[in-house]
Amino acid sequence: MMKQSARSRRLVKHHKRLKAGSKLNLVALMDIFTILVFFLIVNQSEVRVLQNIEKLSLPVSVAETLPVENLVITVIADTVLVQDRAIWQKSEDGQGLTEQENPEFINTLTTELTYQASKRTDLSETEQQNGRAVTIIGDAATPYVVLKQIMAACAATGYRDISLAVEQQAKQADGES
């Protein structure tokens, strides 16, 4: 067996190292993702999504106050939901939410709101002054009479801090009208 020169041994070692391929450094990758997660948590957007319902088009408003988490009443064309649970749907005879007041609907809604209020009996100081908070999400085409019935039922059951969900209209530049 012949001895290899130092140069040939170095070249063989160099070629062997290149053939092995590079290894992925997972520690650096984990550090980057950890920093990214903390960045996204800290800098989360001020936009709040109440519910993502495709059948619903919210009315447009210039209000700047953001909603807070509270009881949510959703009004879709033929259905009323309280906390994502349907409490009223269009009946078999086609009787839905119409321009006339509906005592059966008001009783059903009042019963559900009373149940929701009984789940949390302790009120904060602001809730004692202003009443319990509720957000009403209604389609822009929802008749005012229906919203009026819902708001009356809310007020009757102690939900007097009522918010209506709207889509915020973009501010216009000063020169535009």
Q: Residues 154-163: pLDDT tens digits?
A: 888 888 888 8
Contact 149/106 with Cβ under 8 angstroms? yes
pLDDT tens digits for range 112-171:
888 888 887 777 777 777 788 888 888 888 888 888 888 888 888 888 888 888 776 766
Q: What pLDDT does 177 receive? A: 46
Give the residue, 4 or 60, on which the prediction is more confident. Answer: 4
Cα–Cα distance, 145 to 50 (Å, whole number): 23
* Domain ranges, residue 98: 60-168
> In terms of domains, do 10 and 66 share one?
no
Count structural domains, the chain.
2
Give 20 or 94, the one with higher predicted confidence: 20
**Total length of the chain:** 177
* 103 & 145 share domain: yes
CA atoms of 120 and 158, how far apart (whole Å):
12
Sign of torsion, CA 47 48 52 54?
negative
Calculate Rg over the CA atoms of the chain. 30
How far the first Cα of the chain sits from its last, in Å, is 93
Task: Report which of residues 47 and 136 the model is more confident about.
Answer: 136
Beta strands in the chain (DSSP E): 60-61, 71-76, 79-82, 85-89, 133-138, 161-164, 167-168
Model-level pTM?
0.58
Q: 111 and 29 share a domain?
A: no
Report the pLDDT value the prediction gives residue 52, as an integer from 0 to 100.
56
Q: Which residue has the higher pLDDT, 162 or 55?
A: 162
146 lies in the same domain as 84? yes
**Residues near 4 by Cβ (< 8 Å), separated by ≥ 6?**
12
- Examine the domain organization and report whether 24 and 109 are in the same domain: no
Residue 77 Cα distances to 35, 55, 95, 129, 140, angstroms: 45, 8, 12, 34, 10
The pLDDT value given to residue 19: 78
